[in-house]
Structure 1
Amino acid sequence: MTEHHPLDEVAVATYEYALRTGSFTDEDVARSLGVEVHLVAEARKLLQHLRLLAAGGDDRAVVALDPEIAEAELVTPLELAIAHRRREISGIHQQLQALSAMYRSRVQPVAEDVPIRVLDDFEDVRREIDLARRRCTEERITLQPGGGRSAELLEQDLLQTLELRQRGVRIRTLYQSTASASLATRSYVRQICEAGAEVRVAEELSERLIIYDRKLAFIPKERKGKVPPGAALVTDPTVVAYLCRSFESDWQGSQAFDTGGAAEYHHTEELRMSVIRLMAMGLKDEVIARRLGMATRTCRRHISAIMNEVGATSRFQAGMVLTRQGMIPDGDGVSSS
């Protein structure tokens, strides 16, 4: 199958020269047009590739061919291939629609009557997400806590997100600030934003959440080990509306995702205050790290830096100093745990 290549100005001028002269060398055209010879050589090859030029009776002779004939020669195989694919698609639709009707008649009524369904198998969840994405017509909103995602997952999600945007679906995704440190995530965000998606970041996020058309929400189960967890599928209007309001609250307090930021996640003043506030709540290092979407080791470095900054040797002492400085309200001192 012939690959399409656009005609540039040199190619068009070369074709016009062939119409006028009937025979030429690349040097002849280059002198006439005032361009480099290699550009004419590339243009000639392109014109021959598109069946717009053919060799004549001698080494120098070329014949300019009718573009309508060339179009027929190039387009006909493509049209036949498209027609063949359409017949395949139609056959698949016809075969599966009958089975789909059978499946829905037995399963769907039960599923629709249950406002919350819990799926333990991640593959079942993935299939339900695929179905929800295909049915989505208005909006997909996502909470994505933690750091950057793997390049493999991002590549797959990129294709799916771009397909949704092509259908006019609004895309809003809220990442945790630590995701800005991931080069792969920044590249992904840059591409979907160019397609019209909206992406922001926040210092703290709750668990992951996906909502389609404000009607169906996916809430993941607690992860145990490396196996992807199952999820709860929520269709209850009251619960979904509550989840949407929670998302809007997080969205309003977020900032634009900086796709051109540095690769390292710096210790910003906003992050410092978040760590102090969570320390004041008496949370352990592991919990603080999870809330802020960072590794526990990184979290401990931030805590250590804060304690060194105020000259404290324990969390309790740090709490007293930070309270005196007005960083922590009285009664919310840092736990000694």
Structure 2
Amino acid sequence: MDDEALWPYGGGELTDGVPHLGELAVTAYGVALDRGRFHDKEIAAALGEDVGRVEEARKALQDLHLLSPTVPGRPVVPLDPEIAEAQLISPLEVAIARRRREIGRVHQELRTLAADYRARRGGPAGDVPITVYDDVDEVRREIDRARYGCTSERMSLQSGGGRPPELLEADREHTLELLRRGVRVRILYQHTARTSLATRTYVQEVTRRGAEVRTVGELSERLIIYDRKVAFIPKEQNERRPPGAAVVSEPTVVGYLCRSFETVWQIGRPFEVDGQPAEYQQLAEEVRMSIIRLMALGLKDEVIARRLGMAARTCRRHISAIMEEMGAVSRFQAGLMIGRQGLLTDDDLSGAAENGTTTGDCGR
């Protein structure tokens, strides 16, 4: 529901829940002061306005105690704004004071219990630089705790292509809550995430609210860092169960992870939901070159798909197209052609050697 629906009278709007009168209501109030009363038809005639709009303006003025209530047989007359201000503000000030007392009480009681909870449950204390959790629920609780205390920035790497809609929906609320508090949010996806409708919808909403999202060809693993002080690194997934995570607060390690994030961020491309065709073509070419490079390293189709965050079937389709384009009838022949055409850098060739593969034995 939009602001106009919540406050429809006299063109008013809501700002942080406080109503503002529209121009018509303010002008009508001035005419009522001159005439000593507020009569809908008289005000409408004087202003050349529709009676219905003037009636809405009157209701808005009455809601703010600037006009007397409508009582049969009595005229509606202007009231003193200073008295109206006292009538409206006093209950709000009382409510704010009460909320502040409640907030203070909650902080005092829960912080008193927090140290005891950590000590008894073995949770991370301030002097424990790395804690590993196997239970995914414990990881979520620690992430919630870090998010609630986050004041400046959240950085995250999300490998694996597009994310499931249910995970995006949960993260959407958390991300918007951080943005409302003025926290800078930066997210890195892989290029393949751009083909996911759910991910594109999520990115469109969070970027409209101020988040920054970029994509790169490859991401090694998922990572979340809050305020450059605490990082979450997932454990290797086992038996199809959600993995646990290591919670890292050691400054040297967290600093290294932040620098690694910044390095990848600098080469990332902004995730433009309404990008130009030329941009998509360039990204597709980057994905193609990544596949060629990983083929030359001797990696299997499933491994290449996982590295690039795409389905194995999609990856095989790309590999078949590349081999057909080269005129290769086997992965071995494709590897030879890649080497001969100079499509690999020295770093790629070095990686192939470390893997125990060369462009001559690729795919064996």
Structure 1 residues 53 and 168: CA distance shift in structure 2, 3 A: closer
Which of 272, 282, 286 aligns to 1:258? It is 272
Equivalence for 1:91:
105
Give the aligned partner of residue 10 of structure 2. none
Q: For 1:57 and 1:248, locate their aligned partners in 2 and report how far apart those are by CA, in whole Å.
A: 67
Q: Does 1:283 align with 2:299?
A: yes
State whether residues 29 and 78 of structure 2, in contact with CA within 8 Å, keep that contact through their aligned partners in structure 1: yes
Provide closer, same or farther for how the CA distance between residues 152 and 71 of structure 1 changes in structure 2, counting only shifts above 3 A. Answer: farther
Question: 1:197-236 residue pairs with structure 2 within 5 A?
Answer: 197-224=211-238, 227-236=241-250
* Equivalent residue, structure 2, for 1:144: 158
Q: Is the 8 A contact 2:157 2:221 kept in 1?
A: yes
Contact 2:224 2:233 in 1 (8 A): yes
Match of 1:177 among 169, 191, 197: 191
CA-to-aligned-CA distance 1:62-112 (integer Å, 9 cap, x gap): 222222333333333433333333333333223223322333556779755
1:247: Cα distance to partner? 1.8
Aligned pair partner of 2:359 in 328, 332, 337: 332
Query: Does residue 300 in structure 1 map to residue 316 in structure 2?
Result: yes
Q: Distance in 1 between matches of 2:53 and 2:239?
A: 59
Q: Match for residue 332 of structure 2?
A: 316
Structure 2 counterpart of 1:68: 82
Distance in structure 1 (CA, Å) of the matches to 2:199 and 2:73: 55
TM-score w.r.t. length of structure 2: 0.77
Is 1:42 equivalent to 2:69 in the alignment? Answer: no
Within 5 Å, give how 1:65-144 maps onto structure 2. Answer: 65-104=79-118, 111-144=125-158
| Shift in Å, 1:123 | 1.3
Give me the whole-angstrom Cα distance separating, in 2, the residues matched to 1:117 and 1:288.
31
Post-superposition shift, 1:9? 0.8
Q: Is contact 2:191–2:287 with CA below 8 Å preserved after alignment?
A: no
Looking at structure 2, the residues matched to 213 and 196 of structure 1 have their Cα atoms a distance apart, in angstroms, of: 17
TM-score (norm 1): 0.83
Partner of 1:13: 27
Unaligned runs of 5+ in 1: none
Shift in CA distance, 187/46, structure 1 to aligned 2, threshold 3 Å: farther
Q: CA deviation at 1:232?
A: 1.0
Root-mean-square deviation (Å): 3.4
The letter of the residue matching 2:26 is V
Query: Greater relative contact order: 1 or 2 (C-alpha under 8 angstroms, separation 6 or more)?
Result: 1
CA contact (8 A) 2:191 2:215 kept: yes
CA distance in 2, matches of 1:253, 1:81: 50
Native 8 Å contact 2:298 2:361 kept in 1: yes
- Retained in 1: the 8 A contact 2:336–2:359? no
1:214/1:241 contact within 8 Å kept: yes
Structure 2: where are the runs of 5+ without partners?
Answer: 1-6, 8-16, 350-357
Pair 1:54 & 2:81 matched: no
Q: Distance in 1 between matches of 2:123 and 2:252?
A: 20
* Closer, same or farther: CA 245–87 of 1 in aligned 2, 3 Å: closer
